[in-house]
Amino acid sequence: MSRDVAAVWDIELSDGAYRIEFEHGTTTGKRVIYINGKEVMRKDWMFKLVGKETFTVGVLETKATINVEAISGFAYEYALEINGKNYKTFMDNRSKISKTWTLKLDGMDYRIVLEKDTMDVWCNGERMETTGEFADDGTETHFAVANHSCCIKALSSGRKRTGIIHLLLVDGQRVPEFMQ
């Protein structure tokens, strides 16, 4: 089945990475939204070719809106908003309020996300049970992944502009941060 995809966005949320695809039939007004290849919304016949489609993404049901605007004749512009922020602003903010690590343990892939504002830890889309404690050099958040001991250390960088540094240790070994 071929799809007439007009726009694609990749977003990183605490509970996972998502690809949003938007199909827009400019003669029929058909609108279809796919998240990670799965159809989540379909409107087959619409007389109004412009407007908004609102839906949710992920386990936390993050609010998303696609705005469809005519720019000239039969040319359209598509913009994604996440939690009321445009795509670029949302993605810039995400990198400030969260930290992501990807790693392989016992042959399995894991994606660990720290939400810095709440100190919630997510692993492959599930919020982890954690234990926090104060250490001499900062704080430590302990949890387990596949029988491996994990710890996120929050340390002062010693520089005001850099602020707090977050490090992930798995079985005592440092894991490099995932760069998008």
Whole-prediction pTM: 0.78
In this prediction, residue 8 carries a pLDDT of 96
Letter for the amino acid at 12? E
- pLDDT tens digits, residue range 31-77? 999 999 999 999 887 667 788 999 999 988 999 999 999 888 778 89
- pLDDT tens digits, residue range 103-160? 999 999 999 999 998 899 999 989 999 999 998 888 999 999 999 999 999 998 878 7
What does the CA dihedral 118, 84, 87, 160 come to, rounded to 10 degrees? Answer: -40
Structural domains in the chain, sorted by start: 5-83 (2.40.128.180), 98-175 (2.40.128.180)
Distant-in-sequence, close-in-space partners of 93: CB < 8 Å, separation ≥ 6: 85
Q: Which pair of tokens denotes residue 41?
A: 């919304």
CA nearest 20: which of 6, 35, 31? 35
Query: What is the b/e burial string over 7-30, where b = at least 16 CB atoms within 10 angstroms of the residue's CB?
Result: bebebbbbbbbbebbbbbbeeebb
Distant-in-sequence, close-in-space partners of 165: CB < 8 Å, separation ≥ 6: 154, 155, 156, 157
Q: Which pair of tokens denotes residue 119?
A: 């100190």
Length of the chain: 180
d(CA 141, CA 121): 9
Decide if 128 contacts 119 (C-beta within 8 A): no
